[in-house]
Amino acid sequence: MKVTCVASEALPEQLDEDVEYFSLYTHSGRPNVGRISPGWVGMLSRQGFAPTTAVWDFVSISLAVAAADFACRRQGSSDGWTRMIELTVALCEPQAWAEQKSLLERTFRFLTGDFWTLNLIEGGVSAPTTAAPKGIDADCLALLSGGLDSLVGGIDLTANGRRPLFVSQVAKGDKETQRLFARRLGAADRHLQWNHRITVPHATERSTRGRSIVFLAFALLATTTLPAWQAGETTELFIPENGFISLNVALNAGRFGSYSTKTTHPTFLDGIQALFNQAGLRTELVRPYQFATKGELLRNCADQSLLRELAEHSTSCGRFGYYNYTHCGRCVPCLVRRASFLGAGLPDTTPRYVFADLATAGRDRGANDIGSVGRAYVTYRQKGIDRLLGGAMSFAPPGRRADYAAVTERGLEELGQLLQAHNAL
């Protein structure tokens, strides 16, 4: 599978039939060519953004990876999942990324489960420029997705006297929630919302394992507006995700590798940190809840009153759009959400779960993770956590494996209590 992402004027007159083409930051006007963020460069310039070439090239790489992830359908691969993707991306200074090419490929391999070959070529679209670079009065960055973990992350940072610049990747159903959270955190003027605006001229792949790289690229772009960055210092980027979901240990034999999302897995984020360090991007990824369960994260939130007020507006469901922007109640993220309220001793004020009763939800048709969670919990209780983990902790450095295993144990205990409370176990 071949994908080429270049400026419109660099597209060949005769397009190869075996290549997916995308025009970077413009609309080519050709119906068989995809688009990546058309008009965004001009908009950023007008808003005062002036990123360095290294930052801008990373943004372009990330958007191209997401575009390829959308365009290359897994059903066309030999095993129905793993793809061989050859991605050509036009950059402003490709030679500056040449030494990171192998690390980029390995990092994307872990994230999406595919084999990536990157061709970084000349001719990239120039970065936005402005006579008056934008400056935002903030001392760090924080991802604000509209989820429960990002809400707690924002509450804790604010309560601890920090002034985060919140960065959101817009997803349908979350835009207004993101704005609500930023406003209630006193950061309406410290909140950036961007959409990748990737358009594929045919049916797309729905697994979208690569979308998270764009969120990090948006955050890196936002970093360039902070006083610390502009003064040549290193900035902190907070990634608020509980450790149980971050690890996303396979709960059954069918969910190994990239069949489970690795959006904030330590291996993936360590790869991104290494890329940032080698490219001199001066951004430190901070994972404050790496060894906390979602229940512990809620229980220890620094402002319980604000949490209770806003929690009902947050989104966790992995099938939110499928159920008309309503929590299904039985996917893994929903089960972890429900278990966290129970474990923290907080009322679950989520407006509605499609499958509210977990004792009967497993009988309905459709995707359902109750059985997988229940079997994983029983395996852990009867045979120990190591039997469930297998080699899932092989990434952990010496002295940390026990911490990662422990947060998985505690997360399973929260899930077990939920299923028992519903007589589903």
Shared-domain flag, residues 164 and 228? yes
pLDDT surpassing 70 at residue 165: yes
Who has greater pLDDT, 194 or 261?
194
The domain in which residue 279 lies consists of 140-195+207-286
| β-strand partners of 315 | none
Same-domain status, 145 and 249: yes
Picking from 41, 56, 24, the residue whose alpha carbon sits closest to that of residue 279 is: 56
232 and 110 fall within a common domain: no
For residue 36, give the 3-state DSSP assignment.
Answer: strand
The answer to whether residue 403 sits within a structural domain is yes
Burial class (CB in 10 A: 0-12, 13-18, 19+), 15: middle
pLDDT of residue 80: 84
* Per-residue pLDDT, 253: 52
What tokens appear for 175 in the block?
């835009």
Q: Is 303 exposed, middle or buried (0-12, 13-18, 19+ CB in 10 A)?
A: middle
Does residue 228 belong to any structural domain of this protein?
yes
279 with 323, same domain: the answer is: no
Domain-embedded: residue 72 = yes
| CATH number, position 177 | 3.40.50
Length of the chain: 425
The total number of structural domains that make up the chain: 3
CB atoms within 10 A of CB 9: 10
Residue 409: strand, helix, or coil: helix
> Residue 64: inside a domain, yes or no?
yes
Please check whether residue 236 lies inside any domain of the structure.
Answer: yes
Same domain, 6 and 113: yes
d(CA 189, CA 174): 18
Q: How confident is the model at residue 257 (pLDDT cuts 50, 70, 90)?
A: very low
Residue 302 lies in a domain: no
Q: Average pLDDT, whole number, for the chain?
A: 93
Shared-domain flag, residues 148 and 281: yes
Distance CA 148, CA 152 (A): 6
Say yes or no: 221 and 146 in one domain: yes
Judge whether residue 363 has pLDDT over 80.
no
Question: Are residues 277 and 148 part of one domain?
Answer: yes
Whether residue 55 lies inside any domain: the answer is: yes
Decide if 127 contacts 52 (C-beta within 8 A): yes
Please indicate, yes or no, whether residues 31 and 152 belong to a single structural domain of this protein. Answer: no
| pTM for this predicted structure | 0.94
Q: Which residue is listed with tokens 């990876």?
A: 65
As a whole number of angstroms, the distance between CA 40 and CA 37 comes to 6
Same domain, yes or no: 332 and 260 = no
CA distances from 185 to 50, 95, 160, 165 (A): 27, 42, 12, 11
Output the six-digit token pair for 66.
Answer: 């997401």
Record the tokens describing residue 265, joined without a space: 């897995």
**AA letter at 340:** S
pLDDT value, residue 260? 58
Element (DSSP H or E) covering residue 219:
helix 212-223
Does pLDDT of 209 surpass 80?
no
- Residue 259 has what pLDDT? 42
Is the domain of 103 the same as that of 145? no
Shared-domain flag, residues 114 and 172: no
In a domain, 301, yes or no: no
